[in-house]
Amino acid sequence: MYIVIEGIIGAGKSTIAQNLARRLNATYYSEEFETNPCLKKFYSNPIRYARCTEDFFLNQRYEDLQRISKILKGGGKVIADFGFFKGMAFGMVNLSSADYHDFKKNYDRLIQTLPKAGFTIFLDADPEWAIQNIVKRNRLMEQNIELDYLISLTRSYRHIIDRSDVSTVYKVSSEDFYFLSIEQLAEKLEAEIKLRFP
């Protein structure tokens, strides 16, 4: 069983993934964004450091997915708070046309050998809700993220998920974020997962 939790910055991916991994006795696999040497610079100067940031993440995710593949081959269960297609969602927003063209060629080459998630949960959070969450968690490098950027990311994610064969996708609507607690949402998702992986 390999499940991906995806969504824009501040959607609650890590929190939900950790909760589900505990409930389902699965390995939680997190994207270690702090190790990206370009990320902090990107937030200060997006145009200059976008390619560096996205290239690093692409290669890091490729290596992570190879490790996840070994866990799956050993019979393990994995819940990750990122999918490989995340690079395309961010690349469409962050990169110039020329850089995106080169980036997509690398993406298409690398994805051929990677395991495909059996189930993807897309946290389709309202960008206004997400930006409130970003402020609450108080990561210094994220404090200048603007609402328009999250709106663009939301469009990019929806475009990719609606038109591609990412995997079987379950969308969590924005209403769920306002009316359900994290525990209630995790319980709802756990039931959905158990229907698909009895």
Phi, psi angle pair for 11, to nearest 5°: -75, -15
SS (HEC) of the chain: CEEEEEECCCCCHHHHHHHHHHHHCCEEECCCHHHCCCHHHHHHCHHHHHHHHHHHHHHHHHHHHHHHHHHHHCCCCEEECCCCCHHHHHHHHHCCHHHHHHHHHHHHHHHCCCCCCCEEEEECCCHHHHHHHHHHHCCHHHCCCCHHHHHHHHHHHHHHHHHCCCCCEEEECHHHHHHCCHHHHHHHHHHHHHHHCC
User: Does 197 have pLDDT greater than 90?
Assistant: no
Say which residue, 195 or 5, is predicted with more confidence.
Answer: 5
Alpha carbon dihedral 34, 38, 41, 43, in 10-degree steps, equals: -70
Residue 164 is predicted with a pLDDT of 67
Q: Report the predicted TM-score, pTM, of the whole model to 2 decimal places.
A: 0.92
For 26-43, what is each residue's pLDDT tens digit? 999 999 999 999 999 999
CATH number of 2-193: 3.40.50.300
95 forms beta bridges with: none
Q: Domain limits of the chain? A: 2-193
Mean pLDDT in residue range 11-35: 95
For 44-75, what is each residue's pLDDT tens digit? 999 999 999 999 999 999 999 999 999 999 99
For 145-196, what is each residue's pLDDT tens digit? 999 999 999 999 999 988 766 668 899 988 888 888 889 999 999 999 998 8
Residue 196 is predicted with a pLDDT of 86
Which string of b and e fits 134-146 if b means at least 16 CB within 10 Å?
Answer: beeeeeeebeebe
Residues 153 and 116 sit within 8 Å (Cβ to Cβ): no
Q: For residue 16, how many other CB atoms are within 10 A of its CB?
A: 21
Residue 167 is predicted with a pLDDT of 66
- At 162, the amino acid letter reads D
Q: For residue 1, how many other CB atoms are within 10 A of its CB?
A: 16
Residues 107 and 88 sit within 8 Å (Cβ to Cβ): yes
Residue 109 is predicted with a pLDDT of 95
User: Does 79 have pLDDT greater than 70?
Assistant: yes
Angstrom distance (rounded) from CA 183 to CA 198: 21
Residue 143 is predicted with a pLDDT of 85
Mean pLDDT in residue range 131-155: 92
User: What is the maximum span of the chain, computed from C-alpha positions, in angstroms?
Assistant: 48
Residue 166 is predicted with a pLDDT of 65
For 104-114, what is each residue's pLDDT tens digit? 999 999 999 99
